Structure 1
Amino acid sequence: MTEFSEAERAYLKTQRLGRLATVDGKGQPQANPVGFFPQDDGTILIGGYALGTTKKWRNLRGNPKAALVIDDVVSVTPWKVRGVEIRGTAELLTGPHELGPHFSEELIRIHPEKIHSWSLDQ
C-alpha cells in the first residue's frame, strides 16, 4: 500500500510522536523520536529544533530510505497496541514553512512506498 486508508489517516491525526529510523554511511541503524505532521498530499513532514545539524539529517543525505513508526498502547490488560509503519524515501527541505516558530527551517518529507498498520479498528 502506498496510500493511507481512512482509518490510518484518522489515527495519524490523533498522534504527535513517532520514531524515525535511518541508516548511516556504515550501514548502522539509528532511530529517534520525532514530531510529525500528516499532509493532505499523502506525505509526512517531520520537523525539529536545528534539524539540519542532526545525525538523522546527515544519514538521509547519504541514504534517503527511512521508516517511521507511530504507535500507542490502547490497553495494558488485555495488552492491545495499534500503529502505523511507513517505509519510504525522505526528501530534505530547507526554507520557510508553517509548522511553527519552534521548528528550524529544515524539514524532512517522507514519501511513503509501503504502509503497514495494525489494530486501528479497535
Structure 2
Amino acid sequence: MSFTDSELAYLASQHLGRLATRQPDGTLQVNPVGFRYNAETGTIDIGGYNMAASRKYRNLAENGQVAFVVDDIASLSPWRVRCVEVRGTGEAVGTGGDTGGGMDGAIIRIHPRRILSFGIDDAPDVAPHDMVPNKRDVG
C-alpha cells in the first residue's frame, strides 16, 4: 500500500485538493479539485464537471505528469500545518466517474510514485520546526 493509515484517514477527512499539470507550452496549471482515494486501484481519482473537455484533463492526456496536494491548517496557536503531496503519473480515464449533475464520467486517476506528508503522524506536542516530513518513493 502506498499511503499510510494516517494519510488515508487525513485524505478521507478533506474535500478539496490542488492538482498541478503541465500545459503544452511547458507552463504549469494548478486547479482546486474534488477527489477520492480509490482503494481498489491505490490511486487518487479526480472527477468534475465536463472533465473530458477541461484543460487539466487534456494536459494530463498529453504528458501524464501530475502533482497533487491536500493541506490545511489544523491550528493557528500553536501553528500546525498538515499536508499530503503526491507526485506521479496521471491517467485520463474516459469513464468510471459519477455521471450525475453535469459529470461526464471522465476522471483523472493519479498513480503515486512519490508521497510526502507532514503534520499527519506528529504528536501534538512536537514543535512545528521539529516535525519531520515522511518522504518516500512508492512506485
Partner of residue 55, structure 1: 55
1:71-110 to structure 2, matched below 5 A, reads 71-97=71-97, 99=98, 101-102=100-101, 103-110=103-110
Q: Within 2, Cα distance between the matches of 1:96 and 1:19? A: 21
Q: Once the two structures are superposed, what CA deviation does each residue of 1:48-93 show, in whole Å capped at 9, x if it has no partner?
A: 0001111101111211010000011101222211010001111111
Q: State the distance in 2 between where 1:7 and 1:96 align.
A: 27
Q: Which has the higher contact order (CA 8 A, sep 6+)?
A: 1
Larger radius of gyration: 2
Q: What's the Cα RMSD here?
A: 1.4
Distance verdict in 2 for CA 1:20–1:50, change over 3 Å: same
**Residue number in structure 1 paired with 2:26:** 27
Q: Gaps spanning 5+ residues in structure 1: where?
A: none
Count residues in correspondence. 120
* Paired residue type of 1:120: I
TM-score (norm 2): 0.81
Unaligned segments of structure 2, at least 5 residues: 125-139
Task: Give the TM-score, by structure 1 length.
Answer: 0.91
- The structure richer in strand per residue is 1
Q: In the alignment, residue 4 of structure 1 is paired with which amino acid? A: F
3-state secondary structure, aligned to 1:56 = helix
User: Residue 19 of structure 1 aligns to which amino acid in structure 2?
Assistant: R
Matched, 1:16 2:12: no
**What is the CA–CA distance in structure 2 between the aligned matches of 1:16 and 1:104, rounded to whole Å?**
20
- Give aligned-pair identity as a percent: 45
Q: Secondary structure at the match of 1:12?
A: helix
